[in-house]
Chains A and B, each alone.
Chain A
Amino acid sequence: EAQVTQNPRYLITVTGKKLTVTCSQNMNHEYMSWYRQDPGLGLRQIYYSMNVEVTDKGDVPEGYKVSRKEKRNFPLILESPSPNQTSLYFCASSSGTGVMPQHFGDGTRLSIL
Chain B
Amino acid sequence: SQQGEEDPQALSIQEGENATMNCSYKTSINNLQWYRQNSGRGLVHLILIRSNEREKHSGRLRVTLDTSKKSSSLLITASRAADTASYFCATDDAGTASKLTFGTGTRLQVTL
Contact = CB atoms under 8 A, between A and B. Distances in A.
Interface stretch (A66-74, A77-85, A96-104): A96-104
A58 B88 CA distance: 18
B31 A99 contact: yes
A40 B93 CA distance: 22
Contacts of B1: 59
Contacts of A45: 99-101
Interface size class of A (residues with CB under 8 A): 20 to 34
A66 B1 CA distance: 20
A48 B101 contact: no
Contacts, number: 69
Interface in B39-79: 40-45, 48
B74 to A, nearest CB: 15
Contact of A97 (B45, B99, B104): B99
Contact of A56 (B98, B100, B101): B98
Given A42-B105, A104-B44, A98 B30 contact: yes
